């Protein structure tokens, strides 16, 4: 099993238990070490009083992509802080994609940038998340990958 295979397994395990993401119709498009691409379609029940996508929905999509990227190493990792800046509104029927990319990871902390786009690749939001690793793993790690992951972490 490669590191990217492990990342996919971690992402699948998280999604299986993430009832909020499932209820919002989020799809995992791609996950690899330090990276995640998730998508969802804006439904009528996701609109605010101005008939545009509620900012909380954009935040939730970005936050979920962040979670998949920072948990891709099979170390249970949570947010220690995050912020979002909105650039443009989402509309009913838009297919939103959130791309999460690791910017820095060392020891038990990391920093990730997530950009949310619509189906036209127009930028809707910029999200930055800071992560903190806690105890636990998401999936049982194969013997052949465990020493490699421990060594990679020690070199970080």
Q: Where are the beta strands (DSSP E) in the chain?
A: 27-32, 35-41, 77-86, 95-106, 109-117, 123-133
Our separate counts of H helices and E strands in the chain read: 4, 6
d(CA 128, CA 156): 21
Angle between helices 3-17 and 55-70 (to 10 degrees): 140
Answer whether residue 56 shows pLDDT above 60. Answer: yes
pLDDT tier at 93 (50, 70, 90 boundaries)? very high
Radius of gyration of the chain (CA): 16
Q: How many CB atoms lie within 10 A of CB 121?
A: 7
End-to-end CA, the chain: 21
Answer whether residue 149 shows pLDDT above 80. Answer: no
* Residues 130, 110 contacting (CB under 8 angstroms): yes
The pTM assigned to this predicted structure is: 0.89
Closest by CA to 84, choosing from 107, 104, 108, 114, is 114
Q: What is the pLDDT of residues 126-142, one digit of tens each?
A: 999 999 999 999 999 76
Closest by CA to 96, choosing from 122, 78, 64, 76, is 122
Answer whether residue 55 shows pLDDT above 60. Answer: yes
């Amino acid at each position: 099993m490669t590191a990217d295979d492990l990342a996919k397994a971690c992402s699948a395990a998280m999604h299986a238990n993430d009832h909020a993401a499932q209820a919002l119709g989020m799809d995992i498009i791609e996950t690899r070490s330090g990276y995640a691409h998730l998508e969802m379609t804006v439904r009528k029940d996701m609109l605010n009083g101005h008939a545009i996508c509620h900012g909380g929905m954009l935040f939730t999509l970005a936050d979920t992509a962040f979670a998949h990227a920072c948990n891709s190493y099979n170390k249970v990792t949570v947010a220690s802080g995050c912020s979002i800046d909105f650039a443009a509104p989402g509309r009913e029927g838009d297919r939103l994609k959130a791309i999460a990319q690791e910017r820095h990871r060392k020891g038990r902390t990391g920093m990730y940038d997530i950009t949310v786009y619509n189906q036209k690749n127009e930028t809707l939001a910029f999200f930055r998340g800071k992560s903190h690793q806690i105890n636990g793993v998401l999936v049982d790690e194969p013997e052949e990958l465990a020493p490699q992951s421990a060594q990679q972490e020690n070199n970080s």
